[in-house]
Structure 1
Amino acid sequence: MGRSLRTFAAYTQPFTVKNARHATTGCPFSKRQRSQIAPTAELSEEIFSNAKPYSEVPGPKPIPILGNTWRMVPIIGQFDISEFAKVTQHFLDRYGRIVRLGGLIGRPDLLFVYDADEIERIYRREGPTPFRPSMPCLVKYKSEVRKDFFGELPGVVGVHGEQWRRFRSKVQRPILQPQTVKKYVAPIELVTEDFIKYMENARDVNGDLPHEFDNDIHRWSLECIGRVALDTRLGCLSSDLTSNSEPQRIIDAAKFALRNVAVLELKAPYWRYVPTPLWTKYVNNMNFFVELCSKYINEALERLKTKKVTSENDLSLLERVLRSEGDPKIATVMALDLILVGIDTISMAVCSILYQAATRLKQQEKMAEEIRRVFPDPSKPINYADLDKLHYTKAFVREVFRMYSTVIGNGRTLQEDDVICGYHIPKGVQVVFPTIVTGNMSQFVSDPEEFKPERWLESDGRLHPFASLPYGFGARICLGRRFADLEIQILLAKLIRRYRLEYHHEPLEYAVTFMYAPDGPLRLRMIER
């Protein structure tokens, strides 16, 4: 850990916002009823003329040559990347509701905005092709290293502008349609049943799951995504899986690709100019993904050639994309993006949800009661309509995402000058919406330190709709969110109905890899109900 973060010991998870500075920023939008600019209103010349200059936005001061990049350097730096969720909280406490982190070598300034009304306004005013803060390493890989493969259709992850719009328009209809998702209830339930059998056999004499259970959750997640994106069972839940097996190599490659994004992008970007060891391994990992997806897409294409199809309902998601577009590369890139982002994101979210369930037994019992009521016969297959009745269970998940947001923040790269919290912000700045903090601010959520799933089912109390957005918002909302929700709901419905989860070890702190999740062995105890 960097030196200064040792002074952050008072901050424990979840974040609680105390003594946050309000007046220093002059933000006029701290209360919805006081907002001076409507969410979709155009900014007038008068608003720009009255705005403070960008140079006055508070934040850590850069030093000559090294800027603020030195703060992320091991040993001498202040900030440990794994503690970046705490760093975002520190920025709010130290500087206020808008914070500029400039002087980052090789990348634009980061502007942290801790006001849900401003976040809403930025989201609602964006055009049809909003720019997310890019992943320069993935951009370089898709547009330069493997331009021969990606060409003009590089996917949706790390892609922006017209290329992003064109590709998304080709795949979003089959991915986002509820009828497509419904087709995967039975396959995901089958994968989940196999996973629970695996869990039953993996327990020790006390009923505790193994130290590496988080990796087992990755195996379940990959098996689900493989079934959706590649139309196949990858064999991830085999009891004799080796470290060199294809499923484990996929998991390791996905973890490496995502978990080193922050290292590649926040530290000195030498990899842009010379092939550093980390960059070389990143490229090799990505090449492995491309080869793997191409192999399974080609197999699916061959099966489709001989498949008897009477209607579109006979087709899987992958087959619908292959048939409608006629280009297997589109299906390959779609699968690549779903696997690359989905494995670690869903796995870390599930780790957090199960840990919170095991340490909040009262709420877990409420879930179990609801699940037994909706699914009284455990031998009867799950159907989509009944999953929709799990109101409290879904509220529990939302509350975990609010207090322990798996994605620590969303953001946008400004495509034009804007006025944010009273400051004139120039085009090109990368605006960060730190969901992990805003979801725990009393200005936007009533009693944010209280874990209360019921808040999502009640109309009273403060709950700003833009304080906690686990999947983002607008045109760039998570493309695979319906499948992520489906997998999580089926797992909880099957597992919590049959087993009581407990945790009897040292409490786990949360840390950032690429996601925000419990850090340490997830040794849950499974007890038959």
Structure 2
Amino acid sequence: MQTTRKLLIYSQWNKNVFHVVKHRSTIAAPVAQCPYADVATNDHQIIANRAKKEVVTEQYLPYSQVPGPKPIPILGNTWRFFPIIGQFKISDIATMSFLLNQVWGRIVKVGGLMGRPDLLFVFDADEIEKCYRNEGQTPFRPSMPSLVKYKGELRKDFFGDLPGVVGVHGEKWKEFRSRVQKPILQLSTVRRYVKPLEQVTNDFMTRCQTQLLDENSELPNDFANEIHKWSLECIGLVALDTRLGCLDGTLDPKSEPQQIINAAQFALRNIAMLELKAPYWRWFPTPLWTRYVKNMDYFVEVCMKYISQATKRLQASGGVGGALDGEPSLIERVLKEEKNEKLATVMALDLILVGIDTISMAVCSILYQLATRPEEQEKIYQELKRNIPDKNTPLTIQLLEKNKYTKSFIKEVLRVYSTVIGNGRTLQNDTPICGYMIPKGVQVVFPNLVTGTMDEYVSDASEFKPERWIKSEDNDSNLHKFASLPYGHGSRMCLGRRFADMEMQILLAKLVRNYKLEYNHKPLNYAITFMYAPDGDLKFKMTPRVE
């Protein structure tokens, strides 16, 4: 009887939290405290877990006492993701993260997942910081067993000792990253791409204005796909040293650019389906796994083709022949320094695989927030107008740096609506976290989407305030450095983060300086595909500014 009551309380609480989180269309509203949270956990330790933090110096509670949803025999907690009877949707991990925090507190164990280690959610920015600070030189990031199987087993003939950085760990990851990170992260290389990326963005703006707007000056229902085209054209320029032609009119569904977009979306958006549901694909080729492999093979083929073309251009030009008009491009630098086409191919593959959907979904979110926040958009416009009086002035890195409010707007969107809902690590040693001794091998999740909107770590967390990111004597906002980490932290931080930041800044500068963006339809909810982004048609109204 008591057990039934707890399950009913838990089920009703799940519905309430789902309702609150699902409708976070304007700001991350704090979720009401569950009045029966301590009862629902069936774990008396939750009381101590939510009490004032204490420093434990000699003794830690055992891992078995970490609170969280209890697994059942055979099915463990995997049943919670089943259709109809399950409590969580694969596409709604964001809601699940808020729910776990609200019901069980600052540390939550989700164990008993078929075919994978336990997941440990940590909602404490101080503890997250300790985990990052204490990791070694080769941190193990929980990653895509499906991609690991593809690179390490199915296509081991191709990847061999050069598997890349995505889905790779240990010394192989360290060696590969050390060989490619200097040219990717070097500011002098990144800054050379301002002009060519601005040209891509100009082409995108022209396409929007002349080909996409309807009679109401609104962009089409599938505008998210147009953003993907812009993103792929930018990444193709950086990673493959070529213009792919994504913005050349209406793409045929069978065209190479559209197939690349489709392949990237499929590969990333089905990872959760492959890895959170029962992983039958590990033992026999399911239809989903077969299509995943086909998509990955297509990626490898495309990357090999363009890297080979870059090598030929480099040889024919005597050293410089790529997209930067006389200066060595990223790919040319890697090819010249490493003299290894396969290394450059794998690097490009990783950049494209994780870059297209990530940047595209971030831009969808940024533009939606821009269009629904006229006051903030006006501030961006006035800043751009001050710094770029003539809207036809070519952008430079110096001009981009001056636009502090524009950059802060992007950061604030990524705080409140973090595109990547969480980072994580697989523990390589037994580690104390939140007063518990967590054993080696557990996968720890750091949910940015939750910690970035917690009052403990961000002043006025429920308010959308880009100003909080601008350092000044008047700004006394509390902002924990480890509460919002959209690109991760440490040696496994996103390799392409500087290019991603620059691409988004260029797009906002060109768009807002020249156009006013509005959204005049029913507010959109946010949902998970592979990323956290607005769920629905982005029918923005785009009006040229008259000065």
Deviation at 1:483, TM superposition (A): 0.2
> Match for residue 419 of structure 1?
432
Deviation at 1:243, TM superposition (A): 1.1
Deviation at 1:461, TM superposition (A): 2.3
> Match for residue 134 of structure 2?
125
Post-superposition Cα deviations, 1:424-444, rounded to whole Å, max 9, x if no partner, equal 100000000000000000011
Pairing of 1:72-91 with structure 2 (within 5 A): 72-91=81-100
Deviation at 1:474, TM superposition (A): 0.4
1:478 paired residue among 478, 491, 494 = 494
Q: 8 Å contact 2:518–2:540 — kept in the other structure?
A: yes
Aligned residues: 514
Gaps of 5+ in 2: 1-10, 39-44
TM-score (normalised: structure 1): 0.94
> Match for residue 291 of structure 2?
281
Post-superposition Cα deviations, 1:335-390, rounded to whole Å, max 9, x if no partner, equal 00000000000000000000000000000000011111111112221101111111
Pairing of 1:367-382 with structure 2 (within 5 A): 367-382=380-395
2:232 paired residue among 205, 217, 222 = 222
2:368 paired residue among 355, 374, 384 = 355
Post-superposition Cα deviations, 1:119-151, rounded to whole Å, max 9, x if no partner, equal 001001111110101210000000000000000
Q: 8 Å contact 1:230–1:293 — kept in the other structure?
A: yes
Deviation at 1:77, TM superposition (A): 1.3
> Match for residue 480 of structure 2?
464
Deviation at 1:25, TM superposition (A): 6.1
Deviation at 1:309, TM superposition (A): 3.6
1:509 paired residue among 493, 500, 525 = 525
2:503 paired residue among 487, 498, 502 = 487
1:291 paired residue among 301, 304, 308 = 301
Q: 8 Å contact 2:67–2:109 — kept in the other structure?
A: yes
TM-score (normalised: structure 2): 0.91
Distance 2:159 2:20 in 1: 47
* Secondary structure at the counterpart of residue 526 of structure 1: strand
Distance 1:69 1:297 in 2: 42
Deviation at 1:15, TM superposition (A): 4.5
* Secondary structure at the counterpart of residue 424 of structure 1: strand
Question: Would the alpha carbon gap of residues 29 and 258 (structure 1) be closer, same or farther in structure 2, given more than 3 Å must change?
Answer: farther
Amino acid at match of 1:141: Y
Post-superposition Cα deviations, 1:6-64, rounded to whole Å, max 9, x if no partner, equal 44213331252443879826459977xx7x48xxxxxxxx53xx111101111111111
> Match for residue 104 of structure 2?
95
* Mapped pair 1:452 → 2:465: yes
Deviation at 1:310, TM superposition (A): 8.2
Amino acid at match of 1:222: L
Pairing of 1:21-420 with structure 2 (within 5 A): 24=46, 26-27=48-49, 36=55, 47=58, 50-201=59-210, 202-309=212-319, 314-420=327-433
Distance 1:368 1:85 in 2: 32
Amino acid at match of 2:193: Y
> Match for residue 5 of structure 2?
none
Question: Would the alpha carbon gap of residues 215 and 25 (structure 1) be closer, same or farther in structure 2, given more than 3 Å must change?
Answer: farther
Post-superposition Cα deviations, 1:412-454, rounded to whole Å, max 9, x if no partner, equal 1100001111111000000000000000000111111110001
Q: 8 Å contact 2:314–2:320 — kept in the other structure?
A: no
Distance 2:522 2:468 in 1: 29
> Match for residue 16 of structure 1?
30
* Secondary structure at the counterpart of residue 402 of structure 2: coil
Q: 8 Å contact 1:438–1:467 — kept in the other structure?
A: yes
Deviation at 1:206, TM superposition (A): 1.1
Amino acid at match of 1:350: V
Distance 1:455 1:143 in 2: 44
Q: 8 Å contact 2:269–2:529 — kept in the other structure?
A: yes
Distance 1:162 1:509 in 2: 42
Deviation at 1:475, TM superposition (A): 0.4
Q: 8 Å contact 2:320–2:332 — kept in the other structure?
A: no
Deviation at 1:486, TM superposition (A): 0.6
* Secondary structure at the counterpart of residue 432 of structure 2: strand
Q: 8 Å contact 1:15–1:403 — kept in the other structure?
A: no
Distance 1:398 1:15 in 2: 18
Amino acid at match of 1:329: K
Distance 1:418 1:358 in 2: 45
Gaps of 5+ in 1: 38-45
Deviation at 1:75, TM superposition (A): 2.0
Amino acid at match of 1:116: A
Q: 8 Å contact 1:105–1:268 — kept in the other structure?
A: yes
Deviation at 1:76, TM superposition (A): 2.1
* Secondary structure at the counterpart of residue 511 of structure 1: strand
Distance 2:469 2:365 in 1: 19
Amino acid at match of 2:349: L
Question: Would the alpha carbon gap of residues 25 and 349 (structure 1) be closer, same or farther in structure 2, given more than 3 Å must change?
Answer: farther
Q: 8 Å contact 1:229–1:338 — kept in the other structure?
A: yes
Distance 2:20 2:250 in 1: 44
Q: 8 Å contact 2:20–2:31 — kept in the other structure?
A: no
Question: Would the alpha carbon gap of residues 129 and 366 (structure 1) be closer, same or farther in structure 2, given more than 3 Å must change?
Answer: same
Distance 2:410 2:90 in 1: 26
Q: 8 Å contact 2:320–2:328 — kept in the other structure?
A: no
* Secondary structure at the counterpart of residue 517 of structure 2: strand
Amino acid at match of 2:429: E
Q: 8 Å contact 1:29–1:117 — kept in the other structure?
A: no
Post-superposition Cα deviations, 1:278-320, rounded to whole Å, max 9, x if no partner, equal 0000000000000000000000000111223489983110000
Question: Would the alpha carbon gap of residues 118 and 25 (structure 1) be closer, same or farther in structure 2, given more than 3 Å must change?
Answer: farther
Distance 1:316 1:96 in 2: 48
Q: 8 Å contact 1:26–1:421 — kept in the other structure?
A: no
Distance 1:146 1:310 in 2: 32
Amino acid at match of 2:533: A
Amino acid at match of 1:327: N
> Match for residue 41 of structure 1?
none
Q: 8 Å contact 1:15–1:89 — kept in the other structure?
A: no
Distance 1:136 1:308 in 2: 42
* Secondary structure at the counterpart of residue 196 of structure 1: helix
* Secondary structure at the counterpart of residue 408 of structure 2: helix
